[in-house]
Structure 1
């Protein structure tokens, strides 16, 4: 099934994928290939029974899921994740266009809960100078005592990673989430090609920054500065590639703004007050379940206004 929108998303991901190889090595592409094959085979099983063709969306789902993983994630863990995402977050709802939850985030959340060690403590050093990972299969593992991701370092030892590292990507983390600059480049491509709705990208950012600013001003512990919070973890990546997904987001224009604002607010609340260092995947899935209700609520409000003015 040909889907022009999915091809545009893949095009925007090229700089991020190249950056991931530079930062973490060629295992990035191998892991992505393994996940994509597993994702396609999983969808093929369902489509064969339905006598339908495989959608190009499953490739995008597989690539996005791969980019949310640490480069050293075992292949078998990644395979279990994508099978769960495609089968239980997409196909059981009727396939592409009918799913309530984002399949890639559902897959990531599933293995985060089931196999937390591989996604919370096993990180690799991000290359900082050319040729970087272009000459390596995989970059060296991070010392669990002295090194970690920016969010973990902040919570565990109060160490704040420099904004320059967060912007250019030479910080430990998931393969596609470390470089704010490359993610923003992908966002620009998506906006110029009219692939995403800018309201779904801007509104969560506003909600995140506003909530983070309030918590910082009142002196709440573990509340990072808004800029640091945006560039660390997976929030920026999610804002561009997951929150903007039209299938799981509301359709009403005003509903999209509320949806995004709440995702940004919930994310920072989970990060600061929850036991999880990263909260964006939970906040997106939570709001995925409320998207239809928000749509209905705004439609009812519109009807009531029309009745009053009639």
Structure 2
């Protein structure tokens, strides 16, 4: 029996997110080579097949959201990530962070980040030390399968360099993105273009996008004034480590985020705060992915809390 007249569930909102990712994808190719697209295609295929297995039993179409999850997942990886590692990650993310909860609209955790975190814990070498040099002159990676692997610490990621050598890369370099790192997280400029597209097409709530940045910058400013050694400062921290990428493309994911306006702000603020706390006091250089998954857990509670609070306020107004 056929699954459905259409193999994909039509989700216009997901297509808007895909449009916003186009600049980031082209940037990833330029900085790291065409293996970006090949790896992304493999991940999309296995993400699709994983969801298809579940949907066949339900006789439902595959969601277009799985393509978005697969692409975002790929962009959080280094370009040299082995295909088999990436395949394991996307299968875990779609199967255990989405489908076991009932599929799209019912998942508690962001599938892309869940898959990435699974790889980070199980196969840390591929995600923490195997980086590639970022191209800095045209045509860059457009004429390469993959840019060369780094061979010195001076070519590692900005946060790793800062933590191990105390040297901070120029802010201009961080802004444009010609630094080693995960494929989609290096260029602040291209990430901001994606943010503009999301806001213009109304595919993301500005509260979820801005509040993590405010929480991160606010706490970083306080720690800087206190002289905390491991805090690189609000501007450097904001331009490195993927916090902007996570704030714009993951914190804004509507299914795992709160629905109440006030709850969205609290949710986002804590994502930014937890990200910085992990960076400064934890053993991980990054932290944004853990912050989002932690807050995914608390999103329903925050929503219920503000719903009850607003309900009490309305009753008090009526009683008055």
* 1:289 aligned partner: 297
Q: What is the distance in 2 between the residues matched to 1:168 and 1:244?
A: 23
Aligned to 1:98: 106
Task: Find 1:64's aligned residue among 67, 72, 81.
Answer: 72
CA distance in 2, matches of 1:248, 1:182: 25
Measured in 1, the distance between the counterparts of 2:210 and 2:78 equals 27
Q: Are the equivalent residues in 1 in contact too, given 2:70–2:90 (CA < 8 A)? A: yes
Aligned residue in 2 for 1:17: 25
Which is further off, 143-152 or 231-240?
A: 143-152
- 1:158: how far off? 0.7
Gaps of 5+ in 2: 1-8
2:246 is aligned to 238
Report the equivalent of 1:135: 143
Deviations 1:224-262 (A, max 9, x none): 111111110111001110000010000000000000001
Deviation digits for residues 35-70 of structure 1, max 9, x if unmatched?
Answer: 000000000000001111000000000000000000
In the TM superposition, what is the alpha-carbon distance from 1:146 to its structure 2 partner? 3.2
Matched residues in 1 for 2:243 and 2:152: separation? 23
Say yes or no: does 1:81 pair with 2:89: yes
Bigger shift: residues 9-18 or 299-308:
299-308
Distance 1:182 1:307 in 2: 47
- Provide runs of 4+ in structure 1 moved above 6 Å: none
Contact kept in structure 1, 2:153 and 2:161, CA below 8 Å: no
The answer to whether the Cα contact below 8 Å between 2:132 and 2:150 also exists between their aligned partners in 1 is yes
- 1:204 and 1:47 map into 2 onto residues whose CA distance is 34
Q: Are 1:255 and 1:295, in contact at CA under 8 Å, matched by a contact in 2?
A: yes
**Alpha-carbon shift at residue 107 of structure 1 (Å):** 0.4
Counterparts of 1:189-204 in structure 2, within 5 Å, are: 189-204=197-212
TM-score calculated relative to the size of structure 2: 0.96
Shift of 1:147: 2.2
- The Cα offsets for residues 154-197 of structure 1, whole Å up to 9 and x where unpaired, read as 11111101111111010000000000000000000010011100
* Inter-partner Cα distance in structure 2 for 1:71 and 1:293: 37
Q: What RMSD, in angstroms, separates the aligned Cα atoms of the two structures? A: 0.7
**Residue 264, structure 1, aligned to residue 255, structure 2:** no
Q: How does 1:207-286 map to 2 (within 5 A)?
A: 207-286=215-294
Q: Contact between 1:154 and 1:160, CA under 8 Å: does it hold in 2?
A: yes
Shift of 1:145: 3.4
Per the alignment, residue 57 of structure 2 pairs with: 49
Contact residue 24 and residue 138 of structure 1 kept, 8 A: yes
Give the distance between the partners of 2:157 and 2:97, measured in 1 at CA.
28
Residue 165 of structure 2 is aligned to residue 157 of structure 1: yes
Give the conservation status (yes or no) of the 8 Å contact 1:97–1:247.
yes
Question: How many angstroms apart in 1 are the aligned matches of 2:154 and 2:236?
Answer: 20
1:104-183 correspondence to structure 2 within 5 Å: 104-183=112-191
Structure 2 residue aligned with 1:31:
39
CA offsets per residue over residues 63-118 of structure 1, 9 Å max, x none? 00000000000000000000000000000000001000000000000000000000
Instruction: Please list every run of 5 or more consecutive structure 1 residues that lacks an aligned counterpart in the other structure.
Output: none
How far does residue 308 in structure 1 lie from its aligned partner after superposition? Answer: 2.2
Q: Secondary structure at the match of 1:146?
A: helix
